[in-house]
A and B are shown apart, each in its own frame.
Chain A
Amino acid sequence: QIQLVQSGPELKKPGETVKISCKASGYTFTNYGMNWVKQAPGKGLKWMGWINTYTGEPTYADDFKGRFAFSLETSASTAYLQINNLKNEDTATYFCARREGDGYYPFDYWGQGTTLTVSS
């Protein structure tokens, strides 16, 4: 069965770096793009961008350019989200979600979410 399994909760201090993983199974990893979605506590869903798992090319939403980086370890069917120079406002749950291609398809499978807490 198709699964996206994310890494566990993180507690970090401002200025630190975090790297969240999303391991896919049950399908051909490179046939689907991997999207990242942020959900701040008690808030809605915000699309952060996506990475083309075939070419490795990332695309970032405007609010997530600069400190955020998407990467892949294709041999392990794993996508990563790295956030540098962490700020308090990065406290949120981060979801990975797969989508066929880069458009005209919904996010059909989601990871369970990784909760990040940034606090001094």
Chain B
Amino acid sequence: DIQMTQSPASLSASVGETVTITCRASGNIHNYLAWYQQKQGKSPQLLVYNAKTLADGVPSRFSGSGSGTQYSLKINSLQPEDFGSYYCQHFWSTPPTFGAGTKLELK
């Protein structure tokens, strides 16, 4: 099984700042990588898939990058609605494993 190591586990930032979250896969996942945002008490929402393709309706301040085993999600100019938890997930093979998550909090 491919394991996903996500960092940092938590992040404190202010509105307007830029943050980056990273995920490292234990094997090559060939860009089959998604990022989800989850707000407290809600279901996850797809943000990015295929490493860098924004899902419908996702603001352009979000961007994904990476290849092979290393991937990242960058959020430019943080907005109040961006605070919550973020998860990466590979879908190269079964099981489609999630990272442990990053909790993005308001400083």
Residue of A at shortest CB range from B97? Answer: A47
Residues of A within 8 Å of B91, CB to CB, are 99, 103-106
Number of interface residues of A (CB under 8 A): 22
A107 and B89 contact, CB distance less than 8 A: yes
Given contacts A47-B98, A59-B94, A103-B94, contact A95 B44 (CB under 8 A): yes
A44 to B95, CA, bound (A): 15
Residues of B within 8 Å of A109, CB to CB, are 46
Q: At the interface, yes or no: A110 with Cβ under 8 Å from chain B?
A: yes
Q: Which of A96-120 contact B (CB under 8 A)?
A: 97, 99, 102-113
Contact-size category for B: 20 to 34
A107 to B95, CA, bound (A): 13
Q: At the interface, yes or no: A13 with Cβ under 8 Å from chain B?
A: no
A45 and B87 contact, CB distance less than 8 A: yes
B101 and A44 contact, CB distance less than 8 A: yes
A46 and B46 contact, CB distance less than 8 A: no
A110 and B45 contact, CB distance less than 8 A: yes
10 contacts between A and B (CB under 8 A): A44-B100, A44-B101, A45-B38, A47-B95, A47-B97, A47-B98, A61-B95, A108-B46, A108-B55, A110-B44
Q: Which residues of B contact A (CB under 8 A)?
A: 32, 34, 36, 38, 42-46, 49, 55, 87, 89, 91-101
Q: Which residues of A contact B (CB under 8 A)?
A: 44-47, 59, 61-62, 95, 97, 99, 102-113
